[in-house]
Amino acid sequence: MSKTDVLSDNSGSEHFRKEHDSMGTVLVPADKYWGAQTERSRNNFRIGTERMPTEIIRAFAILKKAAARANHALLPGKMTDEKLSAIEKVCDEISEGKLDDNFPLVVWQTGSGTQSNMNVNEVIANRANSLAGKRLLHPNDDVNMSQSSNDTFPTAMHIAALISVRENLIPAVCRLRDTFKRLEKENSGIIKSGRTHLQDATPISFSQEVSGWRAMLERSLSMLESSSYGISHIALGATAVGTGLNCPQGFAGLVAKEISDLSSHDFVSDENKFHALTSKDELVYSHGAIKALAADLFKIANDVRWLASGPRCGIGEIFIPENEPGSSIMPGKVNPTQCEALTMVCLQVMANDTAVGFAAASGNFQLNVYMPVCIYNYLQSVRLLSDAVRSFDDHCASGIRANRSKMEENLRRSLMTVTALNPYIGYENAAKTAKLAYSENISLKEACTRLGFLTEDEFDSVFHPEKMI
């Protein structure tokens, strides 16, 4: 792998090699490409099981490749053709997932993400040196050229966030939106009882009800897209504190262009690097749109499970797919499990929003040191929602069917259709009609005629629930 000694522990069961950094020599597993700083972090932060998200590692691969290209253009004497080619090759391997087991660090490390930046630097350098058969690259001098952990980690955060939202979450939401568009069209003309406060209300068409769900997703898509503008601005070029120390003139703009080309998404250099290092407001804003989507999805999933409740003792106005047995003791029971999974995910997203907000609020002076927990929660929200929306669409929403007979029965039994009589007998008389019908369990027509407000023919001429939508 590199020209270092291979050692074994006292039992001889595991092999190591010596790696060194500015603090001295460290033993590193011989079959891994990471170096001394990664190993120190691995040993010093044995906290939890939450690894640095794969999306961040992939973002670093894009970032390091882009930085090497920018350095090659601006500092060709330092970033030679040979070094550039070596860095590009290893970054491609990282992007393809070929080196995934070389990124062992947990989220709960230094708040700047320095150790994950160095983990990537060390893996690229050691893997390239192994392929070259010589010491071609140094993790700091070459792979980290013109960079600092302080500007690479927030840049990786924005790359990972933008790609995950645009390539995973937005397409998943678009699929569900299209399902609701289809349901809207298929159920045109079906009239049912509306509900407010979990109580009967005036009539609505089922397609109108579905249109509300569809519109929620359309608004959420608009918010997701507009809020992603902020995270297209990157910190790279700021180096340690925002001044760009040790960064060549023109690097920031050029590396943003390279990242855009490599990722197929537009990124620009943040014009105020002091803001870019210490503020995480763009991620808070973007996650706010994700939270808004979660709130709408929570409402939609609850509507679906209420409407499907039963099969005999609930509302029962829609049928949803029966995917698995719902009880270990009650034979034949089937539950709205996709609704339950989606709403649990939505709760997690809402909790994550609190963590993202507090993390962003905790920057001091020229750096935020809550970045790993901020991006961990952000990416978990995107990942969970993307998966849950696809699952809900595939296994529930796409199979929703109207129970027309139940909708008709509930509509005819609803007392709130009495609202149609307001223009003819007045609000107070209509209220008396509804109360009599409810107390004696009779129809609105019978109650209205018994009270003498309208004749049967008059009632029939003005009472048309299907026209109330």
Q: Name 410's Cβ contacts closer than 8 Å, sequence gap at least 6.
A: 192, 193, 315, 317
Q: Name 426's Cβ contacts closer than 8 Å, sequence gap at least 6.
A: none
Which pairs with CB-CB distance under 8 Å and at least 24 residues apart come from 198-201?
200/414, 200/415, 200/416, 201/416
List, in sequence order, every beta strand (DSSP E) within 65-198: 191-196
447 within 8 A of 440, measured Cβ to Cβ: yes
Which CA distances in Å does 234 have to 58, 253, 464? 16, 10, 60
CA pair distance 397, 391, nearest whole angstrom:
9
The region that residue 239 occupies, defined by phi over 0 for left and psi between -120 and 50 for alpha, beta otherwise, is: left
Q: Would you name the residues annotated as active-site residues?
A: 197, 327
CA pair distance 177, 135, nearest whole angstrom:
54
CA pair distance 73, 66, nearest whole angstrom:
11
372 within 8 A of 108, measured Cβ to Cβ: yes
Cβ count within 10 A of residue 12: 7
Residue 325 corresponds to which amino acid? P
DSSP secondary structure letters along 130-160 = HHHTS----IIIIITTT--HHHHHHHHHHHH
Paired residues of 191 in beta bridges: 205
